[in-house]
Amino acid sequence: MKLVVALALSSAAAFQAPVGTSKPAALKGAPVDEFEVGVQPPAGFFDPLNYCETQPESFARRRAVERKHGRVAMMAMVGCLLHNADVEFPGYLSKSQNLKFSDIPNGLYGITKVPSAGLLQIAIFVGFIELFWWPASNYSGDYGCGFFGAKYEGEEKVKKLNAEMANGRLAMLGIAGAMLAEGQTGQTLQEQLLALNFNPFA
């Protein structure tokens, strides 16, 4: 775990953008300039191989994928924190198998306790979302499900997208770190916290 934290802290300096790095022109038809979204200190705009100049349309797809992965990671991190705090749904996950939600153990091992029919339902639901409800072909990330119908435009929209991108990137690091730490130590996030494994001075 200490290694993961050290790598995360040191990587920001390693990817410092060179002074004077120019950004490509805005993508045609894009609701916002995607080359402005996610460009934040300390890394700034980092494209040493000029990938964005040579393949701007591919960049738009990759940015959309990063945005969606960030959203999934944020939900995963919230779920990880809640489940490790023993906050669970009441009732049964599978009545026929007499399996309650509270019977699913915390951490990565918990997925092995979910019945195969439940895993299939999850896969079908995710596939439905990806293909029909919030299609992957929609690069804007605007799926019409904002809280309280809030609409943002211009600089305010870019500011909100930047915040989402930063939170998504942190969530991806967070959930990856939690999974790697559990794989290394064999302890769930809750057990690691109680054992003070996150103390860098230990």
* Cα-only R_g, the chain: 20
The residues facing 94 across adjacent strands are 99
Of 48, 152, 54, 27, nearest in space to 35 by CA: 27
At 10, is the pLDDT very low, low, confident or very high (cuts 50, 70, 90)?
Answer: very low
List the CATH number of the domain containing 148.
1.10.3460
Distance (Å, whole) CA 67 – CA 196: 33
Is 62 assigned to a binding site? no
18 falls within a domain: no
Highest averaged pLDDT of the listed ranges 10-14, 36-40, 79-83, 156-160: 79-83
- For residue 145, give its domain range: 2-13+31-194
202 falls within a domain: no
Is 71 assigned to a binding site? yes
Please count the structural domains in the chain.
Answer: 1
Quick: pLDDT tens for 61-100: 888 888 899 999 999 999 999 988 989 899 998 999 999 9
The residues facing 99 across adjacent strands are 94
201 falls within a domain: no
